[in-house]
Structure 1
């Protein structure tokens, strides 16, 4: 699928990996609807990208009504949706059992709700729109790109909820790709490693460099632009379907 003139919705698009994806798509002549709860950042990014290229819609990915409204605004502004990039997510760090007691069920459920159920909610509603697109010469109507994490495979101490949510995204990639194949809609997942996103903003430079040094090669934190580059490759390469790609510099997380 060509990016030029393609319309994408990007959840979690106001910062981090999502913002990088939005910038990259617009830089390659695509149109973007930025979906995020962070209103100020989202509006600022939409203004940066230009009114002809981007809009911001404050969106709660766990809400059917909120996502439907976002899709309606995107299609009203740009005509349709060809691509959905799912970057919205939250983290949690709690052990299954600690001195304070068992892992709170509420916090576990919240991570699953946002990361896993939120991703599926966006997929199911976006593909309803995509299925009505005119297919291109290869029969493509749309592309879904999800964001998992290497924690789906190498979950560390305290990552039960986060790893479960990201493992669920990996696990549903292939069956959803098979579900949507008759419609010409591809589904892929990226599992990033350690990336220089707002998660690490509070860390001093020395701490970031120490984290980066644990990566075999390149020995640094990943750049969000590298995530965006892979998203672009997925969009453009029609044979990429039903798979999860680790984007991690060959790191394998230790227990702690």
Structure 2
């Protein structure tokens, strides 16, 4: 809020927690803070020129500086516990995904993506294979009805094989980043994905292969080890 105000922006800070708003007002009494949820902003339609998620921005800053993978983003860690924990860290993954689903704008996801999967990997390293630390996470599915049609993503892991299904709406493209022992191990019906007509291989980093997918349905497998 202080940074935006210094730039001449009329900013409004919102949070559903009265304690958070009280703390913010104590630090910046001249600023406009309101108790509200992101799904029900206390603003008239079309009255805001932009939306900023400070937790995500701060998370990326912390991650880049000390490798803490979002774990110390709450000031002094006082909102969660005396020691750094991952409570606020979830926002670095959940906030961009939620904003995309609410607005259809991928900007925040694209900005946050370099850190998002690395944070989840860090959780897995600390807890075994589970995000929550209780049991293993072997399958996930999600779907979203966009203005262009349904976007679907579903994966399962059995042994060293990841099976992945995706739906990319007509007249759109999607960037797929998928764990793989090697790019050629990502296959559709036995054919390396990079050789499927219309698919573009974008590169690999940190055990993840990236592809640009045209619209269509995909049923893929990837060897993980």
Q: TM-score higher than 0.5 here?
A: no
Task: Kindly indicate which of the two structures has a greater share of residues assigned to strand.
Answer: 2
Q: When the two structures are superposed, what TM-score results if normalisation uses the length of structure 2?
A: 0.30
User: Relative CO higher for 1 or 2, CA cutoff 8 Å, sep ≥ 6?
Assistant: 1
